[in-house]
Amino acid sequence: MSSVVLKNIVKRFGSYTAVHPSDLEIQEGDFVTLLGPSGCGKTTTLRMIAGLLDPSEGEILIGGKRVNDVPIHKRNLGIVFQNYALFPHKTVADNVAFGLKYRNVSKDEIARRVEEALNLVQLPHVGGRYPKELSGGQQQRIALARAIVIEPDVLLLDEPLSALDANLREDMRVELKRIQHQIGVTTVFVTHDQSEALAMSDRIVVMSGGRIEQVGTPEEVYNRPRSEFVANFLGASNILDGVCRERGAETATLEVPLFGTVPVPQDKAAGISDGPAKLVLRAEKLTLMDARADITGMIAADATVETVDYQGQTVRYFVRAGDRSFQAINMINERPFPEGSAVKIAFRSQDCAALPG
């Protein structure tokens, strides 16, 4: 059953449309991420689900019921904000207990569930403290405990990790995913960080300019982007203008400059027909090789290394082939190719995707 459904939802602020007509279905228990650059309408969408904003048009269903006219305090949702939004004048325990007070839960039961929630976020001994006595990461855990202790139908998180520093963010990412898995609550997570989205989500909703660009599993949106925007937003891609010569049962054959004919697997060439088409070459799938290397089974072109951006285990190259520049991110075995060296850039046809031109 779908836990959250958005039907043709629109949000306008005055004459400005922040969210264009959008449809979305979120399955029970899924961890769904709204991913997109700042200002693309993620928060607006989340706040409409929460009941903090009224949609200008369309319907919102939660658990199969229309909730457009249900005020936020009757929606039974858990919300975690970027800036934690803990109640500064209440102790941690009172913060976590807050939602239970409005739910006909006995005193003993409240105490038990608060303790349980604090255990779940691995902060069992801070109940008596005030929020300001905790670190940022701890405060965010308490905010999470406060949101899940009420056993919400949906958990909504708006960039909950972006106020934390890098190391803590990675820990919290794992932690959050563990907790979500453990309690199995349907979760809508908002972020502009593609690696966060790829690491945590069951499904990713890629948004741009108030529109949903693509919905799919991390593997799908990463390997089978449906638009140039998605291809570029999730990691770096090289996009070549070409022509689709033949649409076969297994492959779509594209012809692109430099590389010639490329047979793109069917499942990565959805919506392609004969005529103009684009070839998506992920930077991670484009390998630099010695100019004299054996390239059987690969499609290659001659190139010159322009810039080398050394990143430890990996290296990011900017190379020139023909009249354009390509980006390639490779693992380093020995030494990276020096700037100015003549190389081959090569890829396997099954690693490409095609987009309508």
Partner 1 sequence: MRSASGLGWHLIRGWALLVYVFMFLPVAVVVLLSFNASQFGSFPMTGLSFRWFVELAENEAILRAFETSIVLGLLTSIISTTLGVLASLALVRYRVPGANAISTLLIAPILVPEVVLAVALLLFLNFLGIHKSFALLLFGHVIFTLPFVILVVQARLVGIKREVEEAALSLGANPVQTFFQITLPLMLPAVLAGALFAFTISFDDITGTLFWKPGGVETIPTQIFAMLRNSISPEINALGTVMIVMTVGLPLLGVAVARRLAQRSGG
Ligand X SMILES: Nc1ncnc2c1ncn2[C@@H]1O[C@H](COP(=O)(O)OP(=O)(O)O)[C@@H](O)[C@H]1O
Cα separation, 319 vs 306, whole angstroms: 5
| Minimum CB–partner distance for residue 46 and Mg ion (Å) | 8
Interacting residues of 275 by C-beta distance below 8 A, sequence separation 6+? 243, 244, 357
The answer to whether residue 132 forms part of the interface with partner 1 (CB under 8 A) is: yes
Q: Between residues 55 and 242, which has the closer beta carbon with respect to ligand X? A: 55
Share of the chain residues as helix, strand and coil, in percent rounded to the nearest 5: 30, 40, 35
Give which of Mg ion, partner 1, ligand X, none residue 6 binds (C-beta under 5 to 8 Å, depending on kind).
none
Piece of the chain touching partner 1 by CB under 8 A; list 13-21, 96-104, 254-262, 266-274: 96-104
Task: Assess contact for 300 and 258: CB atoms under 8 A.
Answer: no
Q: Between residues 78 and 210, which has the closer beta carbon with respect to partner 1? A: 78
Piece of the chain touching Mg ion by CB under 5 A; list 12-20, 36-44, 222-230, 325-333: 36-44
Cα separation, 192 vs 207, whole angstroms: 10
Instruction: Return the structure tokens found at 349.
Output: 């046809």
Binding test (CB under 6 A) with ligand X, winner from 32, 40, 197, 299: 40
Binding test (CB under 8 A) with partner 1, winner from 72, 111, 258, 308: 72
3-state class (DSSP) for residue 173: helix
Cα separation, 223 vs 39, whole angstroms: 25
Piece of the chain touching Mg ion by CB under 5 A; list 37-45, 66-74, 148-156, 267-275: 37-45
Q: Between residues 207 and 343, which has the closer beta carbon with respect to ligand X? A: 207
Binding to partner 1 in span 38-57, by CB under 8 A: 50, 52
Report how far apart, in Å, the C-alpha atoms of 208 and of each of 16, 39, 237, 268 are: 15, 8, 17, 21
**Distance from the Cα of residue 166 to its chain's centroid:** 17
Task: Assess contact for 352 and 281: CB atoms under 8 A.
Answer: yes
Backbone φ/ψ region at 29: left (φ over 0), alpha (ψ -120 to 50), beta:
left
| Minimum CB–partner distance for residue 72 and ligand X (Å) | 16
The answer to whether residue 43 forms part of the interface with ligand X (CB under 6 A) is: yes
- 137-158 in b/e form (b: 16+ CB < 10 A) is bbbbbbbbbbbbbbebbbbbbb
Binding test (CB under 8 A) with partner 1, winner from 4, 32, 86, 120: 86
The answer to whether residue 136 forms part of the interface with ligand X (CB under 6 A) is: no
The answer to whether residue 103 forms part of the interface with partner 1 (CB under 8 A) is: yes
The answer to whether residue 18 forms part of the interface with ligand X (CB under 6 A) is: yes
What strand order describes the sheet that includes 203-208? Answer: 77-80, 154-158, 186-191, 31-35, 203-208, 211-216
| Minimum CB–partner distance for residue 19 and partner 1 (Å) | 19
Instruction: Return the structure tokens found at 322.
Output: 């023909």
Give which of partner 1, ligand X, Mg ion, none residue 77 binds (C-beta under 5 to 8 Å, depending on kind).
partner 1
Site map 149..178 versus partner 1, x via CB under 8 A: -x----------------------------
The answer to whether residue 238 forms part of the interface with Mg ion (CB under 5 A) is: no
Binding test (CB under 5 A) with Mg ion, winner from 33, 43, 253, 327: 43
Q: Between residues 40 and 352, which has the closer beta carbon with respect to ligand X? A: 40
Helix spans in 98-209 (H): 107-120, 136-148, 166-183, 194-200
- 50-70 in b/e form (b: 16+ CB < 10 A) is bbebebeebebbbbeeebeee
| Minimum CB–partner distance for residue 106 and partner 1 (Å) | 16
| Minimum CB–partner distance for residue 58 and partner 1 (Å) | 21
Q: Which residue is nearest to ligand X (CB)?
A: 43
Residue ranges that bind Mg ion, judged by CB under 5 A: 43
Residue ranges that bind partner 1, judged by CB under 8 A: 50, 52, 71-79, 81, 83, 85-89, 98-99, 102-103, 130-132, 143, 146-147, 150
